[in-house]
Amino acid sequence: MHEPVQEKTPEMGSNLLENVGMKQSIVGVLAATSLMCDNAFAQDIDTLVARGGELFNSAVGCHTCHGATGEGLVGPSLHFGPTPVDIFDQLESNPVMGVIVSEMNPSDEDLAAISMYIRSLAGLSLDAALPDRWLANLAIIKANSARDFEFAKTPRDLQVEGIERYEDLAANWTRRANEGSLLSHYQTEVVATFDPGEPKFTPEPGRTYFYENVGTTSSPSVLFEGYKLPESNQIVVGDAETREVIASYMLPVQLRAVVHTSAMSPDGRYAYIIGARPGGDIDTTTNLGTSATLIKADALTLQPIKQIAIGGRLHHGQVFRDYVLIDYFARDPDGLGFALLDPETDEIVGGIRDADLGGYVYTVWSDKDYEHIYALMEPAGYASGRSTGMTAAINMYQGRLLAMRPFWVAKINPDTWEVEQEYPLPGYRPNWLIVDSAKEYMYVVNSMSNASKIAIDSGEVVWTNGTGIGPYGASLNADESELWVADKGEAAHHLGRTITVIDTHEGHAVETLYGAYKVDHVLLSPNGKEMWATSNGEGRIYVYDAATKELLTKIDMPENGDAHGLIWVHYDENGESRVVRDQGNFHGGLNPVDGRVLDY
């Protein structure tokens, strides 16, 4: 980390002299440019266009991002006819153009040749007077940008300079987690048991069903006039092939709570949904800062079997080996940051406390082989308890904070319960993580509207780029060439309704799709062909064709209750069930990258 140097403002007289000198130098540059143009471009247009074509189609040329015809690829169309000034501006300001600068290092004449070649691709006029005019304009731009004025820096400015670069943070990262095994336990308690009742549907062998938990906090303003929120939470099941809801069950009002996720046991026999507070109080607001119970329900009757105190309020859940990996919103004083729940015994077999990780856990994720757990970590101190990260992000959006302390990922070995590696993040408040099928890279989505691709072994940030506002859930497509990000408006109090599709190689957005209000989670379906996106705002699931990006259908949740998470359960030819997809990963041998998908 460099030591900043105090700078002083030059005297006014000095500035005037410098400005006069600058004007004189520009005049000189223009004269030189005019002479150069008379000589350099006393050549035919065909020769210039041919030179531009060589540069455009070279190994590091423009065709890589803009296509051989210049109509656009991961970069935009160039058929508007960029001038050398336009290209120079990109070389100076766009980090992606760094390879052009370092490998090609084009001269002014090269830029003019490239511009003429692009005009030929676009069918624009090839006026022989253009190169002279372009180079004269480019000389002015370069002369004006060649000088940086010096201004006074306050002590505060110097402090900020010491912390504002991600490279400095990564180079000086200090481990947050304690060393050694961090295994802790929590004793669950069965608060109540229930008669599961009769099946709501009969699954057919060979078919796949989707499960969805819905709550009571949709946004009436985005629905229809006179809309009233449902009285309680519901568990919903539908046919994955026909994309139709076939059954649902509304929990008794006394079990109501603020729902955020859908989770199931690995064998697909039990569904989990948030229940009322341990003392019996129901949630009537969206307050997530208090503990809550876990409702275990029969996957066929959709009705509760048990109400369990698990040491906090369930946030997310997903299949992990023979267990359910859960993280929490609020924790009890002796609760865990995340835990593994045994669905057979309803006991927590292990977990880790926030204090041992050096910060608060927000969400946890795994790779496809359940080799590691990745915890998205938040620095403490922006608010009491687990609300610290959300409070920080809200304050950042609203301008009360200008910077935040770093957020990071903790990579945990679930066999030894040790933190093997920590990754400081180039962004604020991470909420979603995906590990690719080769376990080489992880994709991290941040509430402050960006996403990153990070090499797992080295921690190198391959790219970081913007998304839509307040992104939340994300999913890779079948060949992992695209990252679909749900632009929910998280922490920005924004009714986000777009999905940003990002090229995973270059890190650039290639398409923005129109979606549901407060689109929250987006998941590739088990057939590898569809992206399903849940809506917190309007209580629907939007289903897109993953290849064409076409919106295929909208699935209304009962009473338009807000939808959270998604799970697919497949029944084999013997009628045995298993979870094949949830928000964490594909399961049961499915892997779309290798073509192992369900055919329906």
What are 40-63's pLDDT values in tens digits? 444 588 999 999 999 999 998 999
Per the CB < 8 A criterion, the answer to whether 41 and 131 are in contact is yes
Bridge-based pairing state of the strands 530-535 and 540-545: antiparallel
Say what the pLDDT of residue 558 is: 97
Mean pLDDT throughout 376-404?
A: 93
Mean pLDDT throughout 227-244?
A: 97
Say what the pLDDT of residue 3 is: 40
User: Residue 540 has what DSSP assignment?
Assistant: E
Q: Which helix (H) or strand (E) holds 138?
A: helix 130-145
Interhelix angle 130-145/84-93, rounded to 10 degrees, is 30
Taking the alpha carbons at both ends of the chain, their separation in whole angstroms is: 55
**Ramachandran assignment for 471, one of left (phi > 0), alpha (psi -120 to 50 degrees), beta (any other):** beta
CATH 2.130.10.10 is right for the domain spanning 189-594: yes
Number of H helices, E strands in the chain: 11, 29
Q: Does the pLDDT value for residue 5 go beyond 70? A: no
Q: Residue 123 and residue 125: Cα distance in Å, rounded?
A: 7
Nearest to 48 by CA among 64, 34, 37: 37
The pLDDT tens digits of the residues spanning 550-576 come to 999 999 999 999 999 999 999 999 999
Q: Residue 144 and residue 141: Cα distance in Å, rounded?
A: 5
The pLDDT tens digits of the residues spanning 339-372 come to 999 999 999 999 999 999 999 999 999 999 999 9
More confident residue, 567 or 139: 567
Say what the pLDDT of residue 2 is: 38
Q: Residue 433 and residue 374: Cα distance in Å, rounded?
A: 8
Q: Does the pLDDT value for residue 23 go beyond 80? A: no
pLDDT band at 150 (very low <50, low <70, confident <90, very high): confident
Q: Does the pLDDT value for residue 437 go beyond 80? A: yes
Q: Residue 77 and residue 116: Cα distance in Å, rounded?
A: 15
pTM: 0.82
Say what the pLDDT of residue 225 is: 93
Q: Residue 274 and residue 240: Cα distance in Å, rounded?
A: 24
Helix (H, G, I), strand (E, B) or coil at 304: strand
Adjacency order of strands within the sheet including 509-514:
471-476, 482-487, 498-503, 509-514
Mean pLDDT of the chain: 91
Say what the pLDDT of residue 146 is: 65
The pLDDT tens digits of the residues spanning 166-217 come to 999 999 999 999 999 999 999 999 999 999 999 999 999 999 999 999 999 9
Q: Does the pLDDT value for residue 519 go beyond 90? A: yes
Cα distances from 236 to residues 3, 209, 317, 402, 516, in angstroms, run 58, 10, 17, 42, 19
Q: Residue 138 and residue 135: Cα distance in Å, rounded?
A: 5
The pLDDT tens digits of the residues spanning 111-132 come to 999 999 999 999 999 999 999 9
Q: Residue 499 and residue 497: Cα distance in Å, rounded?
A: 7
Q: How many CB atoms lie within 10 A of CB 284?
A: 10
Say what the pLDDT of residue 147 is: 65
Q: Which helix (H) or strand (E) holds 455?
A: strand 450-455
Q: Residue ranges of the domains in the chain? A: 12-145, 189-594
The pLDDT tens digits of the residues spanning 576-585 come to 999 999 999 9
Q: How many CB atoms lie within 10 A of CB 7?
A: 12
Per the CB < 8 A criterion, the answer to whether 115 and 51 are in contact is no
Q: Residue 571 and residue 598: Cα distance in Å, rounded?
A: 11
Say what the pLDDT of residue 29 is: 41
Say what the pLDDT of residue 43 is: 55
